[in-house]
Structure 1
Amino acid sequence: MVQTVIGVFNSFEDAERARSRLESEGISRSDIEVHSSGPRDGLGLSGDATARSATRETEVDRPHEGPLGGIEHFFKRLFGSSDEPEEVGNYHEAVRRGGALLSVDVDDETSIERVRDALYAEGAVDIDSRVAQWRSGGYTGYDRNAPAYTADEITAERKAFPVVQESLEVGKREVLTGGVRVYSRVTETPVSESVNLREEHATIERRVVDRPATAVDLKEGSVEIRETAEEPVIAKTARVVEEVVVGKEASTKTQTVNDTVRGTEVDVERTAGTGDSPAARSVDKPPL
């Protein structure tokens, strides 16, 4: 049994992108139709001969109805003239307010899920959320006699107020806070040491004697006496008595950074209904 999946998009261009994606995923172009209220768009912009024929019939044989009338005929073909669900009027209203419908005919359950995922990914809007916004501005139901929105009205309804929030990002960088420089140089310091020095001197002593001389006393001879003296000898020995080790050690500390971040808040104030439409809002993954 053939089933029809319908997605609502903010613009004809968004619906066209969704159609291109569906075609790239294997959905036949003849099974896809795009409907919008733009002057270049009408019922059955699927590119096949049957759809183009239907478009010409909408524009030539029923010129007084315009593209919105063509969409009504699409739903009548889909549901019949008497069994049309109540929410179909909301789809008419979405097109009247500048949106676009994309319908896809599928004949198996697996293709339905694939088509829905593709429409979600290309920005299909949440029609229930969109209708709730319209109702807050006085919308009570689709009026087929109401004119289509102008470009200025579409822009005004979809005006967006960005909500901005700054975030504080704390990093760190290395800065030079000082240091040490170590020099090695030779110094001279006067010192004194005491040392005992020994000296040897020859002594001559003459003594008066009175004894008979012998042959030994009459021999010639000589005696040499050497005189000696000690003198200081200086030697230096260098010894390492201390080492100065140069390095650095790391430590950590926790510092709390205080600052202010800016942001914007959007306040919504309800006003009395005047028949005008509030700004529209899209949801990331709407139900179809």
Structure 2
Amino acid sequence: MAQTIIGVFDSFADAERAQSRLESEGIARADMEVHSSTIGDANTMSGDPTTRSVTNDTGEDRVHDGPVSGIEHFFKRLFGSIDEPEEIGHYHEAVRRGGALLSVEVANETSVERVRDALYAEGAVDIDSRVAQWRSAGYTRYDRGAPAYTADEISAERQAFPVVRESLEVGKRAVQTGGVRVYARVTETPVSESVSLREEHATIERRAVDRPATAADLKEGSVEIRETAEEPVITKTARVVEEVVVGKEASSRTETVNDTVRGTEVDVERTAGADDNLAVRPVDKPPR
């Protein structure tokens, strides 16, 4: 069964953006209509608004006289000559207050959720919450004779209450915690070693002899005896017996940082309504 899904947006631009998204997801532009009480963004327009509808027949724009006539034609085309449900007045009121409607013709049940999710993702508002907000300010029902909101009235009504959350970001920075300085210098240490030294000395010994002399004894000759003595010889050999390695060693530790972050909370109180309507809801077409 063919269904029409209606999304309520805060501005014509928001509705057009949702329309473009649906078109990129395979929904034909001919199956969509955008209805707004302004041509363009309601927040930037002023003067006597008209209703702009992107038709689903030829794709051309149809402009109806008056701020609500085009939307009334749309709902009459949707519901026929029967009385419109009370909730339809809420959609009229949304447009009167500067909003826009995007209607999507869905041919099968499987596309309903996909279209619904896309509309919410692009900022479709919850019509029930919006009506409750209006009622708290005195709204009772849609008044066709009421003038459309001006840009200043739209801006004043849509005051935003920011929800703030502080986040704690813990970073790291390097700080000097000390260090070491290494010096290398030459030292002199007195040492003593014992060494045994050998000396050779010439000795002369005279002894008495009484024997016959021979020719060899009558020869001339000489003998030289050299005396020797050992003395200490000092040599030094340098050897590396130890190394002092200078470097850095990294270690890690976990430190818990405790602090307080601030934020704001916005409480929304929901009030009971006469009917439980969806911001984006499928509407079955009655037989023609």
Q: Would the aligned equivalents of 2:6 and 2:280 in 1 still touch at CA under 8 Å?
A: no
Root mean square deviation, CA, Å: 3.6
> CA-to-partner distance for each residue in 1:136-181, whole Å, 9 max, x for gaps?
3332222223322222111111110212222111122344544444
**One of 46, 49, 54 as aligned partner of 2:55:** 46
More strand by share: 2
Q: Would the aligned equivalents of 1:89 and 1:141 in 2 still touch at CA under 8 Å?
A: yes
Counterpart code for 1:219: D
Q: Would the aligned equivalents of 2:37 and 2:99 in 1 still touch at CA under 8 Å?
A: yes
Gaps of 5+ in 2: 39-47, 270-277, 282-288
Aligned to 2:218: 220
> CA-to-partner distance for each residue in 1:190-247, whole Å, 9 max, x for gaps?
333333433333344557x6x8653359933665544332222223333433332333
Distance in 1, Cα, partners of 2:81 & 2:158 = 33
- What are the within-5 Å matches in structure 2 for residues 130-279 of structure 1? 130-204=130-204, 214-215=212-213, 219-220=217-218, 224-266=224-266
Aligned to 2:67: 67
Instruction: Specify whether residues 185 and 220 from structure 1 end up closer, same or farther in structure 2 by C-alpha distance, changes over 3 A only.
Output: farther
> CA-to-partner distance for each residue in 1:239-273, whole Å, 9 max, x for gaps?
4333323333222233343444443455779xxxx
Structure 2 length-normalised TM: 0.73
Q: Would the aligned equivalents of 1:4 and 1:104 in 2 still touch at CA under 8 Å?
A: yes
Aligned to 2:15: 15
Distance in 1, Cα, partners of 2:193 & 2:29 = 115
Instruction: Specify whether residues 80 and 162 from structure 1 end up closer, same or farther in structure 2 by C-alpha distance, changes over 3 A only.
Output: same
Q: Would the aligned equivalents of 1:35 and 1:71 in 2 still touch at CA under 8 Å?
A: yes
Gaps of 5+ in 1: 60-65, 270-284
State the Cα distance separating 1:91 from its structure 2 match.
0.9
Counterpart code for 1:220: L
Instruction: Specify whether residues 44 and 187 from structure 1 end up closer, same or farther in structure 2 by C-alpha distance, changes over 3 A only.
Output: closer
Aligned to 2:78: 78
Counterpart code for 1:140: T
Indicate yes or no: 2:132 matched with 1:123.
no
Q: Secondary structure at the match of 1:165?
A: coil
Q: Would the aligned equivalents of 1:43 and 1:74 in 2 still touch at CA under 8 Å?
A: no
Distance in 1, Cα, partners of 2:267 & 2:119 = 31
Instruction: Specify whether residues 217 and 43 from structure 1 end up closer, same or farther in structure 2 by C-alpha distance, changes over 3 A only.
Output: closer
Q: Would the aligned equivalents of 1:33 and 1:104 in 2 still touch at CA under 8 Å?
A: yes
Instruction: Specify whether residues 107 and 192 from structure 1 end up closer, same or farther in structure 2 by C-alpha distance, changes over 3 A only.
Output: closer
State the Cα distance separating 1:10 from its structure 2 match.
0.7
Q: Secondary structure at the match of 1:189?
A: coil
Distance in 2, Cα, partners of 1:49 & 1:234 = 116
State the Cα distance separating 1:8 from its structure 2 match.
0.9
Distance in 1, Cα, partners of 2:61 & 2:187 = 107
Distance in 1, Cα, partners of 2:212 & 2:186 = 73
Equivalenced residue count is 263
Q: Would the aligned equivalents of 2:197 and 2:231 in 1 still touch at CA under 8 Å?
A: yes
Greater shift after overlay, 196-205 or 123-132?
Answer: 196-205
Q: Would the aligned equivalents of 1:29 and 1:48 in 2 still touch at CA under 8 Å?
A: no
Instruction: Specify whether residues 90 and 190 from structure 1 end up closer, same or farther in structure 2 by C-alpha distance, changes over 3 A only.
Output: same
Q: Percent identity at matched positions?
A: 76
Distance in 1, Cα, partners of 2:174 & 2:242 = 34
